[in-house]
Amino acid sequence: MNEKGEERSAEELHTILEEHKNHGKGLIPILLEVQKEFGYLPKEAMKKVAEVLGIRPVDVWGVATFFNQFRLTPLGKNHIKVCMGTACHLAGGRLVLEALERELKIKVGETSDDGHFSLERVACIGCCMLAPVMVIKDKIYPKMSSFKAEESLIPYRQESKPED
């Protein structure tokens, strides 16, 4: 993140916490908002949240590491979620996940070194009739297979090249 971005995010964090003071929001909604702004939960931001709520940082950390929704590292530019719900599992979701791990050379939960891709397994996105499903940047790819998953990466790879 560039300096300007950081400044803007710090401001945004301030706004989120100020708003909390006025509305008495719970910890989870605050962390969700912080994550929406930063893309993940930076340690500094979590400390700040603890300070404002008057709770120990470890309690914020406890919640941040408990719930699946929270991430402690930044996501890649193209975030890929592979559904591992029951229907997707039966339809071969694991092969899709393995194909992506192989192709992107990262493991589930990691972000590629160049920051272009990150890979996550999610429990169910509720599109069981389209199983197995993966999601790249909010676009749903239905009825995947290892081969189709590899092919779906092509446009994202090309788009990321000019910036290298």
Q: Which is nearer to another protein, 5 or 126 (CB)?
A: 126
CA distances from 154 to 7, 20, 103, 141 (A): 34, 43, 11, 13
Q: Which of left, alpha, beta for 142 (phi over 0: left; psi -120 to 50: alpha)?
A: beta
DSSP state letters, 84-111:
-SHHHHHTTHHHHHHHHHHHHT--TT-B
Identify the residue among 10, 50, 127, 153 touching another protein (CB under 8 A): 127
* CB of residue 98 to another protein, shortest distance in Å: 6
Identify the residue among 80, 84, 106, 136 touching another protein (CB under 8 A): 84
Instruction: Work out whether 155 is an interface residue with another protein (CB under 8 A).
Output: no
Identify the residue among 52, 128, 153, 160 touching another protein (CB under 8 A): 128
Residue 64's contacts (CB-CB under 8 Å, 6 or more residues apart) are 31, 41, 46, 70, 72
Instruction: Work out whether 119 is an interface residue with another protein (CB under 8 A).
Output: no
Q: Which is nearer to another protein, 46 or 99 (CB)?
A: 99
Residue numbers of the site for another protein (CB under 8 A)?
A: 26-29, 31-32, 53, 55, 59, 62-63, 66-70, 84-87, 89-90, 92, 95, 98-99, 102-103, 122-131, 133, 140, 142, 145-147
